[in-house]
Amino acid sequence: MPASFELARLAGALGAELRGLDLSAPLDASTVAAVRAAWLEHQVLVFRDQRLDAAAFMAFARRMGEPVEYPFVKGLPGWPEIIEVKKLEHERTNFGGIWHTDTSYLERPPSATLLLARELPPYGGDTEFASGYVAWETLSEGLRRTLAPLRAIASSAKADVSKTREDRLRTDGRDEAPRSYETAHPVARTHPETGRVALYVNVAHTVRFDGWTEAESEPLLRMLHAHQVRAEHTCRLRWAPGTLALWDNRCVLHNPVNDYHGHRRVMHRITLAGDLPR
């Protein structure tokens, strides 16, 4: 029998807080299956008050999937799949500080991201999430027909997102990291486990529609990006030490809010191997 836990929804579109599990303890297969089912349903799961060292954090991640390394930043010593997502007191730009899905410029973007709070500012530093499912389902039928056959080009080199990596590349960058990645993915992505369709573009990485120019693509992409993050499509997480968030990178966008200048924020992140978007 799976261990018992409770779920409290964060918002109408997505997100739930899962209460009653100690992730540092061994989880049996039935409990892991129940957690996965809750995650697939709610898209973002939040676990509070988790006392996880690197080994326990990695052990839980491995129960959920296959951890993979981030291409641009080195992992922690002895833990190459765990990177520090941090902003230091003197820095003004936060890492990944723009609405995005993680590394959508890869041929097989991660299926999931796990983010664990280590050090937090005295205020601010929340993370917003948005549902790609709800974004797709609330478009008009006519626009969905137009978008359904399209693919979009994603790049790691767009200026706004590249700027958010500069501090970490200076301090923690990989010597062997390539300069950029670029690939094409479906605009309407069908989730391989739920079968639901998500609007799979994001302002950080999507450059244009495949076969279209950037000038032709820009007006429609601008409209889609604004639609994705309408308030009713989102939830917001206020972090506390020991908070762990697990989100489905195949159907969720996120945005770390940069409102705590002069203070330190340190998180540990693991991403899990994904499939080829279809």
Residues identified as active-site? 100, 102, 254, 269
Instruction: Tell me whether strands 234-237 and 127-131 are parallel, antiparallel or unpaired.
Output: antiparallel
Residues in the chain: 278
For residue 142, the SS3 value is: helix
Paired tokens of 69: 């390394």
Give the β-pairing of 44-47 and 16-19. parallel
Q: Cα-Cα-Cα-Cα dihedral of 9, 14, 19, 22, to 10°?
A: 180
* 112 neighbors 65 (Cβ within 8 angstroms): yes
Q: How large is the C-alpha radius of gyration of the chain?
A: 18
Residue type, 214: E
What gap in Å lies between CA 134 and CA 153, rounded to an integer? Answer: 22
